[in-house]
Amino acid sequence: MEDIHIKGVHEAYFMPTVNFEVATGNCEISGESYLEETTKFYAPLLNWIRDYIDTVRGPLKFDIKLSYFNTSSSKCLVDILDMLKTYQKKGGQVTVNWYYEDSDEELEEVEDFILETGLQINKIPME
């Protein structure tokens, strides 16, 4: 299995930067997420996580630093968090850090992701 490296693009659509590393289990999704075909973009990321959980079985650290994501992207983010929660329940080591800017609304949204998925998420202010 291979790393995923996608460089973010801000054009008519906004593609987030993605870095998933097999050797360390360190994963980052940052920038902005508004895509023409949201599920098509996130499917390989979900497959990567599934493969990592099935074959590598190592720790997973997720750093999410999204300054903007639309509601379609939020559904895919929940899919990722669900997968991490399932892994954690089976004994996998999972850390999720969610970096937020300075709005209450963003914090509320992260809290809702926690309630929605049952996963512990560390809320960290963005510098």
Binding segment (CB under 8 A) for other proteins, from list 16-24, 51-59, 91-99, 109-117 = 109-117
- List all residues 6 or more positions away from 43 whose beta carbon is below 8 Å from its beta carbon: none
Which residue among 1, 116, 120, 126 contacts other proteins (CB under 8 A)? Answer: 116
Please list every residue from 1 through 20 that binds other proteins, using CB under 8 A: 11-13
Which residue among 23, 40, 115, 125 contacts other proteins (CB under 8 A)? Answer: 115
How far apart are alpha carbons 107 and 53 in whole angstroms? 28
Binding segment (CB under 8 A) for other proteins, from list 16-24, 57-65, 86-94, 98-106 = 98-106
Buried b / exposed e across 68-93, counting CB within 10 Å, b at 16+? ebeeebbebbebbbebbbebbeeebe
**Closest to 80 (Cα-Cα) out of 23, 111, 119:** 119
Site residues for other proteins per CB under 8 A: 11-13, 34, 36, 68, 70-71, 74-75, 78-79, 82, 102-105, 108, 112, 115-116
